[in-house]
Amino acid sequence: MRGESAPGVTSTLVGELMALDAGPLDGRSLEKASLCLLDYLSCCFAGQRFPWAQQVIAAAAQWPTPTGASLVGTSIRVAPAEAAYANSVMAVSASRTDMHPAITSHVGPVAFPVALACASIHPLSGREFLAACIAGYEAEGRVGRILVNDHFMRHHRATSVLGSIGGAIVAARILGLSPRDATHALSISANTASGLMEWAHTGDMDLLYQPANAARAAVGAALLARVGATSSPSILEGPGGLLAAFGDVTRADQLLARWSDRYEIEYVDFKAVPACVFVQAAAFAALRWIEKHGAVRPEDVERIELRAFDSAVAYPGCNDPGPIRGTQQARMSLQFTVASVLAQGRLNDRNFAEYDEPRTTSLLAKVRISEAATFSAAYPAKQGAEVEVTLCRGTALTGRVDEVPPVTAERVRQRFIESASALMEHERAAAIEEEVLGLAAAPSLQPLFHLIAGPFRAPAGA
């Protein structure tokens, strides 16, 4: 006989999130969810050119399932949990998935792979699909605001720990579980909450697979709960539960209160730079320096000082003077980012792909970083940084941003078309964009599924 959900924090929170009705959701939240989905697909298409995406596609393709869920941009179908895993890795490979700054979590590369996989076996309307994803973002935001602090970030990856919670809510909603079954699904998934930060010290690729693990676990947990599996219904607030293990269990009741009158998805930002969220401000401060003072030759530079907010300086992997041995290490390093922008006079994907460029390497040794109280006080509402370059003749020149320039909806759309058009005809890319942005009024996701399934052209560099 199945255990009943205890009337505690976990079951109450799950009940609230399962009851989040697509009908009364305001247009602002639904529009943001559609834009987040478009950005996620943009990352999937951009990520396909990287070897890690090609590897996960090749691994999944060995066990095709004709009635399964599609891998985005391919003609391959696999079991839903495996599709969620592969589609997560694909997006994360681009290193610019959406970001909730207050909880340092990339919600999209868990929520959307889970949603697409589950929707492939349980049809629903576009508005219901978006509401499920909004509920997943809400779950991650609520839990993350309690768990994520400096101590947590030194050892645990917020995206995968919180993804086990948000992903389970998305899966439970799309599969139509009852609140009781959804509580069991969340509990099963929360038992997989994990993701260590060693990759930030080694420069390796562990972080690509951490959101994918959460996505796979969430789908599997919901499918298990749908056929009768049970798990601890007090998994969040219990003495051996998630909050006790990772954070402050005395704050459990705070999960039942919204942070503000805005849903958590509305706090999500889009990355401007394909690198760690904590290097974005430094990148733009260096770019501002170039815009103000023009190109600089490495041999003319005596030293470079970067002043940033405390969380950026302290985050594992960000205070890394090199040597830089790979793309992921470059994407994390504050010193490399500043050196690369100053040396190259530009800011795009190539900065991080060309991690051994000689001019950048020459400047890298001259960069020193420090925490600035002004920027720390403004975080997380604003992320600022200042770059000061002292030339050999003694002149000191600065470039500064008090916040990272926002990525507008127009830029998200433009970037999607750029990424998608590398793999398909422009007309098809435009049709996907139209379908995604009109999803709130769509009776079905089938047209979108048809459009994002391949095969497409092989990505350049794959």
Average pLDDT, whole number, for the chain? 94
Average pLDDT of the residues in 341-362:
92
Percent of the chain with pLDDT over 90: 89
42-72 tens-digit pLDDT: 999 999 989 999 999 999 999 999 999 999 9
The domain defined by 277-401 carries CATH number 3.30.1330.120:
yes
Q: How far apart are CA 167 and CA 451, in angstroms?
A: 24
Average pLDDT of the residues in 83-105:
96
Q: Which two tokens stand for residue 244?
A: 């006790």
268-304 tens-digit pLDDT: 999 988 999 999 999 999 999 999 999 899 999 999 9
Q: How far apart are CA 414 and CA 49, in angstroms?
A: 19
The domain limits of the chain are 9-267, 277-401
Length of the chain, please? 462
Helices (H), 379-454: 409-421, 426-437, 446-452
pLDDT at 247: 82
- For residue 370, CA distances in Å to 197, 201, 420 come to 22, 19, 39
Is pLDDT of 460 > 60? yes
* Whether residue 51 has a cis bond before it, omega within 30° of 0: no
Q: Which two tokens stand for residue 157?
A: 């990856």
Confidence grade of residue 143 (pLDDT, cut at 50, 70, 90)? very high
Is pLDDT of 457 > 90? no
Is pLDDT of 346 > 70? yes
Q: How far apart are CA 66 and CA 48, in angstroms?
A: 22
pLDDT at 368: 97
Q: How far apart are CA 323 and CA 204, in angstroms?
A: 14
In contact, 162 and 105? CB cutoff 8 Å: yes
Q: What is the pTM of this model?
A: 0.91
Neighbours of 62 (CB within 10 A): 8
* Whether residue 109 has a cis bond before it, omega within 30° of 0: no
Q: How far apart are CA 286 and CA 293, in angstroms?
A: 10
Top CATH class, 9-267 = mainly alpha
- For residue 166, CA distances in Å to 17, 190, 205, 240 come to 10, 10, 23, 20
Is pLDDT of 455 > 90? no
Confidence grade of residue 462 (pLDDT, cut at 50, 70, 90)? low
Phi, psi of 227 (to 5 degrees): -110, 15
Top-confidence residue, 36 or 353: 36
pLDDT at 1: 35
Q: Do domains 9-267 and 277-401 have the same CATH topology?
A: no
